[in-house]
Amino acid sequence: MKQVQHYINGQFTQGAGTQQILVTNPANNQAISTINCATADEVNQAVQSAKQAYMSWREVPVSERARVMLRYQQLLKDHHDELAEILALETGKTLIDAKGDVWRGIEVAEHACNIASLMMGETVENVARDIDCYSYTQPLGVCVGITPFNFPAMIPLWMFPLAVACGNSFILKPSEQDPMTPQRLIELFIEAGAPAHIVQLLHGDKAVVDQLLLDSDVKAVSFVGSVNVGKYIYKTGTENLKRVQAFAGAKNHCVIMPDANKGQVLNNLVGASVGAGGQRCMAISVAVFVGESKQWIDELAAKLAEVKPGLWDDPDAAYGPLINPQAKQRVLNLIAEGKAQGATCLLDGSEFTLAGYESGNWVGPTLFTDVTPTMGIYQQEIFGPVLCCVCVDSLEEAIALVNANPYGNGTSIFTASGGAARQYQHQVEVGQVGINVAIPVPLPFFSFTGWKGSFYGDQHAYGKQAIRFYTETKTVTARWFDDDSVSGPNMTINLK
Ligand code: NAD
């Protein structure tokens, strides 16, 4: 069994912690690696080492920082398949899905290569006679990332390449459920030439997170994970006067207009709802059928019934097991609750199991109709392969339903009408909208822009806005000549 390694103070180490966490293969729940949770002393060492490294890294020319990112994105591509296999084994994702997880992260590392342009400030000449004004973008110091289990490559890569390219140092605390992928990401980062102490990797659970949230040397915290933990991290981090952004859970609706292309709708709904076992923050978990489109629900059930979960290396598997037995039990409880509360279960995956892997965390595709907003299956993020159908009479009713939902991560509409699509895009209170695209995840030159209960903070961690999050703006107002001589500039500095 592998021993998961921290990376502290420039050294890979299994750590001295006595609290252990077993990492398991979700297909059979057998242990594949062990974590010794970081001790308080190790957390402290990581913060102090990162603080020290920041002081010299912030002085490294931006083009040299970009060159590290150039080498890193190439190394990630060279190791794409290897990373995907590590990831698939510890998450249960199918290989194709695991490759997608890694690839979406590589795109962020590519974006970080452009850091010089991304960090450019602004200038205005002659704000007063002989006085010019300009701004610089400067790093913050030690930044921390706390990441979830469901994208163990993509989400750490949302954070540390951009934060480090900006001139910060970074401490990554990945999910304790799939730590081997982030460990490999950090090994490759060092191999790419990142200074040894500029990143630190700490494994563990709440205790490690809490210590980082309280440490006054930590300047910024990026979190991605569940709603309650996100709220807690946002409150605790900001109470301790840190910059915090917390990406949280979701309940994403797809609106189906009667004029949509039926084949396109059904194929997209199947992939977007049960793909990755529904363990995506952008999964579609509610299908809102407008008017006559509800006649397609039986066909949707038939298509979902053909979807077969399986092992990560089975090319015919549509998705894998859920991450752990607790996650499976939670989904089964919600399915049972849906039935008890009067929803019609057209397809029930509760009993599904994979021959030879009966001890794994399997749940088959599940479809409910006659779902109402008061039911538990509508209100909670299920995070499993379960799709809820709601029927409404008009687009206006669909928009009102989506806007009343407390979450606002993603949504989509399928329609042939430009007018309906425009109205939906304009009026819906959700941060990421797909038009005839089920899962509208932006590329890193945009930002990942969840709204409402799906995000706490102001700037978003990923992509364009991440540069703003990981930097501070300094505005300089400069008088270049004084009245008596031209011997040197007379500058006043305003720190914002
Ligand atoms: P989680 O909240 O359980 O864990 C996320 C991280 O927080 C982990 O590193 C974990 O160790 C840490 N953590 C857990 N409990 C904690 C506590 N009480 N105090 C401090 N730290 C704690 O989330 P998860 O189950 O790993 O991930 C799934 C969730 O993430 C889903 O809700 C999903 O919607 C969400 N998610 C959101 C986005 C987004 O962009 N909005 C993206 C991916 C996942």
Per-residue pLDDT tens over the stretch 231-271: 999 999 999 999 999 999 999 999 999 999 999 999 999 99
**469-480: average pLDDT:** 91
How much of the chain exceeds pLDDT 90, in percent?
A: 94
Of all protein residues, the one whose alpha carbon is nearest to atom 38 of ligand 1 is 281
Q: What is the structure's pLDDT at 483?
A: 57
Cα gap 244→213, rounded to integer Å: 10
pLDDT tens figures, 150-192? 999 999 999 999 999 999 999 999 999 999 999 999 999 999 9
Cα gap 468→222, rounded to integer Å: 13
pLDDT tens figures, 271-314? 999 999 999 999 999 999 999 999 999 999 999 999 999 999 99
Centre of ligand 1 from the C-alpha of residue 346, in Å: 31
Centre of ligand 1 from the C-alpha of residue 165, in Å: 25
pLDDT tens figures, 312-344? 999 999 999 999 999 999 999 999 999 999 999
Centre of ligand 1 from the C-alpha of residue 246, in Å: 10
Taking a C-beta distance cutoff of 8 angstroms, is the pair 109, 72 a contact? Answer: yes
User: Which pair of structure tokens corresponds to residue 484?
Assistant: 């008596």
Residue 9, Ramachandran bin (φ over 0: left; ψ between -120 and 50: alpha; else beta): left
Residues whose CB is less than 8 angstroms from the CB of residue 78 and which lie 6 or more positions away in sequence, other chains included: none
3-state secondary structure of 131: strand
**Residue 481 binned pLDDT confidence (cut-offs 50, 70, 90):** confident
Q: What is the structure's pLDDT at 494?
A: 53
Ligand 1 atom closest to Cα of residue 177 = 26
Centre of ligand 1 from the C-alpha of residue 337, in Å: 24
Ligand 1 atom closest to Cα of residue 210 = 20
Mutational test site, ligand 1, from 149, 176, 223, max ligand atoms within 8 Å of CB: 149
Residue 378 has pLDDT above 60, yes or no: yes
**195-204: average pLDDT:** 97
pLDDT tens figures, 343-371? 999 999 999 999 999 999 999 999 999 99
**430-441: average pLDDT:** 96
Residue 493 has pLDDT above 70, yes or no: no
DSSP 8-state class, residue 4: P
Ligand 1 atom closest to Cα of residue 205 = 11
Centre of ligand 1 from the C-alpha of residue 149, in Å: 7
Of all protein residues, the one whose alpha carbon is nearest to atom 31 of ligand 1 is 226
How much of the chain exceeds pLDDT 70, in percent?
A: 97
pLDDT tens figures, 107-116? 999 999 999 9
Mutational test site, ligand 1, from 19, 37, 150, max ligand atoms within 8 Å of CB: 150
Pairing of the two strands 252-256 and 243-247: unpaired
**Residue 488 binned pLDDT confidence (cut-offs 50, 70, 90):** very low
Ligand 1 atom closest to Cα of residue 250 = 34
Of all protein residues, the one whose alpha carbon is nearest to atom 36 of ligand 1 is 225
Q: What is the structure's pLDDT at 486?
A: 41
Ligand 1 atom closest to Cα of residue 448 = 40
Q: What is the structure's pLDDT at 487?
A: 37
Taking a C-beta distance cutoff of 8 angstroms, is the pair 439, 410 a contact? Answer: yes
Residue 375 has pLDDT above 60, yes or no: yes
Q: What is the structure's pLDDT at 339?
A: 98
Of all protein residues, the one whose alpha carbon is nearest to atom 34 of ligand 1 is 249
Element containing residue 403 per DSSP (H, E): helix 395-404
Residue 447, Ramachandran bin (φ over 0: left; ψ between -120 and 50: alpha; else beta): beta
Instruction: Evaluate the CA torsion angle 295, 296, 297, 301 in order and state its sign.
Output: positive
Q: What structural domains and CATH numbers belong to the chain?
A: 2-247 (3.40.605.10), 252-461+471-495 (3.40.309.10)
pLDDT tens figures, 68-89? 999 999 999 999 999 999 999 9
Of all protein residues, the one whose alpha carbon is nearest to atom 16 of ligand 1 is 206
- Which residues surround ligand 1 with Cβ inside 6 Å? 146-151, 173, 175-176, 205-206, 209, 224-226, 229, 232, 247-250, 281, 381, 383, 409, 448, 450, 454
Q: What is the structure's pLDDT at 484?
A: 53
Q: What is the structure's pLDDT at 496?
A: 45
User: Which pair of structure tokens corresponds to residue 447?
Assistant: 């930002």
Of all protein residues, the one whose alpha carbon is nearest to atom 42 of ligand 1 is 281
pLDDT tens figures, 149-159? 999 999 999 99
Centre of ligand 1 from the C-alpha of residue 248, in Å: 7
Q: What is the pTM of this model?
A: 0.95
Of all protein residues, the one whose alpha carbon is nearest to atom 32 of ligand 1 is 226
pLDDT tens figures, 127-143? 988 899 999 999 999 99
Centre of ligand 1 from the C-alpha of residue 176, in Å: 10
Taking a C-beta distance cutoff of 8 angstroms, is the pair 293, 389 a contact? Answer: no
Q: Just list the catalytic residues.
A: 281
Centre of ligand 1 from the C-alpha of residue 76, in Å: 25
Of all protein residues, the one whose alpha carbon is nearest to atom 20 of ligand 1 is 206
Mutational test site, ligand 1, from 205, 213, 411, max ligand atoms within 8 Å of CB: 205
Taking a C-beta distance cutoff of 8 angstroms, is the pair 32, 90 a contact? Answer: yes
Cα gap 393→401, rounded to integer Å: 12
Mutational test site, ligand 1, from 218, 223, 281, 462, max ligand atoms within 8 Å of CB: 281
Mean pLDDT of the chain: 95
